[in-house]
Structure 1
Amino acid sequence: MDRNRLYKFFSRKSTLEEEEEVLDWMERSDANQQEFLNERSIYNMTLMHVDDCSDGIGKYKKGFPIWGKEIIKVAAMLAVLFAMHFYYSSKEEEMSLAFNTVKVPSGQRVNLELPDGTKVCVNACSELTYPAVFSKEKRNVKLKGEAFFEVAHNANKPFVVETELCDVEALGTVFNVEAYPNSGEVSTALLSGKVRITDRYNADNRILLSPNQESEFTGQIFKVGNIRYPDHLRWREGLLCFQNMPVDKLIKELEKYYDVHFVISKSDILTHILSGKLRINEGIDHALRVLQKNVFFEYSRNDESDNTIYIK
């Protein structure tokens, strides 16, 4: 930062725009803050020695004693520090009110890191909303869909995932939450740490999960047990894994991952139970050919650009 610009700031001759520019520059790094303080000290020393009288220490300079200059120096430093604190506090509060929203389309997934260092993988057809800067008291995010969280540890600031039906609170935890809108269900699988799950409409209705446990919440009722099929969480690797899954539910998974819509006239296939793994990037036609080895059906589509698939 140019020294003259800083001295103009110190002498309170900067415009509001110039003041904001100096404060923004200082906020960018510890080195900038140190340079700011160093230049402030030099400026204060300059104030003390300008207009010095030659008749000894303790004499007045233009009617003002040297010890008075010291008081002004300290007061100026306190004023700057107070202004810095006020500026940073107001800016942090302003940023905590600004939110980012990540929307993941069908067939995609997104990895991101939150402001506190928490790592999140967001699944297809999902939406995650989080603040640009977390507040001092809490770390709350909102989820519509499915996401896998590796929460950065901070015992004094709980991490809470808000869903349509319940809140999942964690401290230094690795877990998966599935809460698609209008599904009427929130599924949580815990790999490490602990989570507390609370009914959003009845705070007394809550449970604690231990590692390798999962829960299903359908509004009022929690079902808790050991994780039955860990491979289900391998969607983060681009795998669609299913075990003892009815075809009607599997069809919904295919719609989510491939951005297609099924029209089914052969309804008797929907009750078949299937298990297996599909690599998502191999495409919908490959997935359907694999299913045809276990369930008899034919499918067609008008053209490759049409996302409607007819099963008969």
Structure 2
Amino acid sequence: MEDIISKYLNKKATVEEKTKLLQWIKEDIQNKNLFIETRDIWLLTNDIKITESDIDEAFIRFNREVNKSSQKVNRKVILPTIRNIAAVAAVVLICSVTTFYWGRNSFAPTQEEATIMVMNQIRTGKDSKDFITLPDGTEVWLNANSKISYPEVFAEGERVVSVEGEAFFKVKENKQKPFKVNTKDMNVEVLGTWFNVNNHASRSSSETVLLNGKVQVENNIGQKIILEPNQKISISKTDGSYSVSKVNAEDYTLWINEKLTFNNEQLVSILHKMKYWYGIDIVYNKDIPLDMRLSLTIRKETKEEIFKLLELITPINCEIKDNDQVTITRK
């Protein structure tokens, strides 16, 4: 493979060799890292004399930038949303050291190569959400405790992202370039539509809910299922078995709003919407006052804060179990 890398960097590789190199890079992260390391060494040494003092100075500058980057990352941890941009930061640091050599050697990666080299990753914290616009214009809402990974530039022929947790997508239509969402237990393919994906690790199944358009969902044993609007598919993480049910899809996207407002609504309706707002299961006895009417607004309050409030203003007790189930009983 070293010979093919050398040919590629010197612009002498054939199409077949480029394809083989690309496949090798995709196979393993260590292969990718080796290619990047080899490329950077080549850029720094090709037709340029580098002295030991130059290397020492570059290393000092590199360490200084890394320390600055680390300090920025540490400060961001205290914010509601944590953006994990290590991959992008690494590319920026490399470019800051080697910009001159890139220009001198006229080395520019193709779109597909850039996709492999540069990946963006955004992660949300326990009680935060985020909104992202992808390179193709697709809009994504990322729920709490979730992560999305996507390339700086989408590859030719398809748009692929990966998700852990929950995300809502408004996909920019492009019939020549299908949009794919990969998770650990299912893959979703669309052309242009609105849908919600939920595969939080704490759940026993992965779910996709379709608002409009059409999507194809593939489970972890290769079965492909087409969803229609207002349908939800639940796929077992254990054996890949699935079920499709009719739902009100708008319930599953309540969480993307800035606030949830109740104006003289019955407790039963409030609990129903809170279930989707917080992504939890709510279990209650029939003897609680479900017809009791309340007015309140939820913005960034945690579920613990809101259920504590309900205990103060209604005759109910709320117990949160395993962080994703709430049991409600009458006082």
Q: Normalization by structure 1: what TM-score?
A: 0.56
- For residues 262-277 of structure 1, the aligned pairs below 5 Å read 271-272=284-285
2:134 corresponds in structure 1 to 114
1:105 to 104, 107, 125: 125
Query: Against the structure 1 CA distance between its residues 296 and 183, is the aligned structure 2 distance closer, same or farther, given a 3 Å change threshold?
Result: closer
SS at match of 1:117: coil
2 CA distance for matches of 1:140 and 1:272?
A: 44
1 CA distance for matches of 2:299 and 2:307?
A: 8
2 CA distance for matches of 1:199 and 1:298?
A: 34
1:295 to 294, 298, 316: 316
2:197 corresponds in structure 1 to 177
Extract unaligned runs of 5+ from structure 2.
1-46, 49-97, 262-266, 321-327
2 CA distance for matches of 1:178 and 1:194?
A: 17
Deviation, structure 1 residue 18: 5.4
1:192 and 2:212 matched = yes
Query: Against the structure 1 CA distance between its residues 152 and 271, is the aligned structure 2 distance closer, same or farther, given a 3 Å change threshold?
Result: same
Deviation, structure 1 residue 169: 0.8
2 CA distance for matches of 1:243 and 1:216?
A: 25
- For residues 195-214 of structure 1, the aligned pairs below 5 Å read 195-200=215-220, 202-203=221-222, 205-214=223-232
After superposition, the C-alpha distances for 1:113-140 in whole angstroms (9 at most, x for unaligned) are 1111111010111011111111113211
The code of the aligned residue for 1:146 comes to E
2 CA distance for matches of 1:105 and 1:188?
A: 22
Query: Against the structure 1 CA distance between its residues 183 and 282, is the aligned structure 2 distance closer, same or farther, given a 3 Å change threshold?
Result: closer
SS at match of 2:317: coil
SS at match of 2:224: strand
1 CA distance for matches of 2:199 and 2:268?
A: 20
SS at match of 1:156: coil
1:140 corresponds in structure 2 to 160
1 CA distance for matches of 2:224 and 2:140?
A: 24
Query: Against the structure 1 CA distance between its residues 120 and 221, is the aligned structure 2 distance closer, same or farther, given a 3 Å change threshold?
Result: same
After superposition, the C-alpha distances for 1:92-131 in whole angstroms (9 at most, x for unaligned) are 2332012111000022111111111111010111011111
1:281 corresponds in structure 2 to 300
After superposition, the C-alpha distances for 1:155-196 in whole angstroms (9 at most, x for unaligned) are 122111111211011111111111112422111111111100
1:125 corresponds in structure 2 to 145
Query: Against the structure 1 CA distance between its residues 298 and 144, is the aligned structure 2 distance closer, same or farther, given a 3 Å change threshold?
Result: closer
Query: Against the structure 1 CA distance between its residues 229 and 114, is the aligned structure 2 distance closer, same or farther, given a 3 Å change threshold?
Result: closer
1 CA distance for matches of 2:128 and 2:112?
A: 33
Deviation, structure 1 residue 238: 3.6
The code of the aligned residue for 2:316 comes to V
SS at match of 1:100: strand
- For residues 46-85 of structure 1, the aligned pairs below 5 Å read none
Which structure's CA Rg is the greater one?
Answer: 1
Query: Against the structure 1 CA distance between its residues 222 and 278, is the aligned structure 2 distance closer, same or farther, given a 3 Å change threshold?
Result: farther
Query: Against the structure 1 CA distance between its residues 196 and 296, is the aligned structure 2 distance closer, same or farther, given a 3 Å change threshold?
Result: same
Extract unaligned runs of 5+ from structure 1.
1-13, 24-82, 256-268, 300-310
Deviation, structure 1 residue 209: 0.6
2 CA distance for matches of 1:195 and 1:291?
A: 41
1:215 and 2:215 matched = no
Query: How many percent of aligned residue pairs carry the same amino acid?
Result: 28
2 CA distance for matches of 1:291 and 1:189?
A: 32
Query: Against the structure 1 CA distance between its residues 178 and 108, is the aligned structure 2 distance closer, same or farther, given a 3 Å change threshold?
Result: same
Across the aligned residues of Structure 1 and Structure 2, the Cα RMSD in angstroms comes to 4.0
